[in-house]
Structure 1
Amino acid sequence: MGALLDGVYEGNVTVRELLRHGDFGLGTFNRLDGEMLVLDGVCYQLRADGSAALADLDELTPFAAVTWFHPDRTIDVSAPHDRGALKARIDEALESTNLMVAVRVTGDFSTIRTRTVTEQHPPFRPFTEATEDQQEVTFTDVTGTLVGFRMPDYEQGISVAGYHSHFIDAEHRHGGHTLDYQLVRGTVEIGVRTELHLSLQRTPGFLGAELNQPNLDGQIRQTEGG
């Protein structure tokens, strides 16, 4: 994540290779050409206009996080929860905030606000500037799935600390990076993880990047909307 802040938008890992390491996750594509969502072993590309489509297996990614999704716990949600209330409910169910948690939320949403970055071109701007051009789309009365993670604070910069999720509707035709939502009813599945495999790029951009950014936490919160 720190490399994205420094404008490293070109990686050398294909979607095909990524899917060998997990069936659930999120990320982005080279040149920030849309948001990535991986659900049930299928990778989707979420565009700036709010549309979703199957990603080409030969597409490349500069940043992604995936896991094999095996839920340890399920929470039934029968009353409306906004984003803050649902995060608090999940936190209450965790034995510790020091572990990595994959979170899948499937349900009916009265509203869900998303954004998607737009494709960038060299020379690349820093991520905080690139996200100023992001397009926001709000979906109403929609059924779909949130795919995301709750990462410990110590992982800020490697990933995104706290909650980070992407959304796709039930028809797999629309979605984006989640900013806010109102869940009417649904199911939360939580999978706790205790092992992390980190694969670093050896591209010129990554090797020359400034990864220890000033105010790293603030920049990530600004770009990720929370």
Structure 2
Amino acid sequence: MRELSNSQCACSFDVAKEYALYHQTTGEGEIYQTSLMSALIAGIYEGTTSIAQLREHGDFGLGTFDQLDGELIAFDQDVYQLKSDGSANPATMEQKTPFAVMTFFNADIELPLNAAMTRSEVHDLIDKMVPSDNIFCAVRIDGVFDFVRTRTVPKQTPPYRPMLEAIKAQPTFSFAHRHGVVAGFRSPQYTTGINVPGYHEHFITDDRQGGGHIQDYRVSSGVLQIGKVSKLVIDTPTSDGFLNANLAPDDIRSAIEKAEK
């Protein structure tokens, strides 16, 4: 990662790093997850958990909706559905999700971003702040973005195709010089198949009119918040589709990497 050019940002980085090192082994709170990423890869798209139920387990997170109908982003106790037509709308409490990850967001580290940074540079910065890959991190950025590129999977109908087939027709969207929110998680590599190992992030514009699953971005200024989490609770479905699915195929890691691009 290149050197931070702004002295204030560099100073804040040093303070945040010292704090992060002091609390390196801590991580309060809990991540609640419904279903598995490998189930989505296998084409298990029927929603089993309502948004109201998700809200009982967190105020921050991401996921998808019943029949893979768009992307889910949650923050500040609000939940939005980012659809394949480019729209963003508040989710209703009755809507359901086949896969979502939620937590009550509590920032252990807060850092102003006063120098423009690419997505990979932001990830490098987080990795320096939380050097262990073996705990979860909830990540939020409120900022001004030079650009954000997203994609959103269109709603699927039975018989469901595997996810790598479903995403071939997904539309992509570009946002330039926009304020917005990034909500996401950095999950340990050992969660491959259970979750998305590494970074998984969604974006919504400040007017709450558009967004999606992030493919890339460049942030010009903003605030980065990181919350370390050391507990994971998984609620697995009991549907026939889930019970009969192959949830540990040999190529699961490469399949997830392709699905998350």
Q: What's the TM-score bracket when you normalise by the shorter of the two chains?
A: over 0.9
Residue 116 of structure 2 corresponds to which residue in structure 1?
80
Residue 48 of structure 1 corresponds to which residue in structure 2?
84
How far did residue 214 of structure 1 move?
2.3
Structure 1 segment 150-161 matched on structure 2, within 5 A: 150-161=186-197
How far did residue 97 of structure 1 move?
1.2
State whether residues 104 and 147 of structure 1, in contact with CA within 8 Å, keep that contact through their aligned partners in structure 2. yes
Task: List gaps (5 residues or longer) in structure 1.
Answer: none
Aligned match for 2:244, one of 200, 204, 208: 208
How far did residue 156 of structure 1 move?
1.1
Residue 222 of structure 1 corresponds to which residue in structure 2?
258
State whether residues 80 and 90 of structure 2, in contact with CA within 8 Å, keep that contact through their aligned partners in structure 1. yes
State whether residues 118 and 219 of structure 2, in contact with CA within 8 Å, keep that contact through their aligned partners in structure 1. yes
The code of the aligned residue for 1:112 comes to V
State whether residues 7 and 124 of structure 1, in contact with CA within 8 Å, keep that contact through their aligned partners in structure 2. yes
Q: TM-score, structure 1 length as denominator?
A: 0.98
The code of the aligned residue for 1:144 comes to G
The structure with more radius of gyration: 2
Residue 91 of structure 1 corresponds to which residue in structure 2?
127
C-alpha distance in structure 2 between counterparts of 1:180 and 1:66, whole Å: 22
Task: List gaps (5 residues or longer) in structure 2.
Answer: 1-36
Per-residue CA distance 1:1-48 (angstroms, 9 max, x = gap): 000111000031111111100000000001110100011111100011
Q: TM-score, structure 2 length as denominator?
A: 0.85
How far did residue 119 of structure 1 move?
0.4
Structure 1 segment 75-224 matched on structure 2, within 5 A: 75-224=111-260
C-alpha distance in structure 1 between counterparts of 2:72 and 2:245, whole Å: 23
State whether residues 47 and 67 of structure 2, in contact with CA within 8 Å, keep that contact through their aligned partners in structure 1. no
State whether residues 109 and 143 of structure 1, in contact with CA within 8 Å, keep that contact through their aligned partners in structure 2. yes
Equivalenced residue count is: 225
Runs of 4+ aligned structure 1 residues displaced above 3 Å come to none
State whether residues 49 and 137 of structure 1, in contact with CA within 8 Å, keep that contact through their aligned partners in structure 2. no
Q: Which structure is higher in helix share? A: 2
How far did residue 120 of structure 1 move?
0.4
Residue 31 of structure 1 corresponds to which residue in structure 2?
67
State whether residues 11 and 201 of structure 1, in contact with CA within 8 Å, keep that contact through their aligned partners in structure 2. no
Q: Equivalent pairs: percent with the same residue?
A: 41
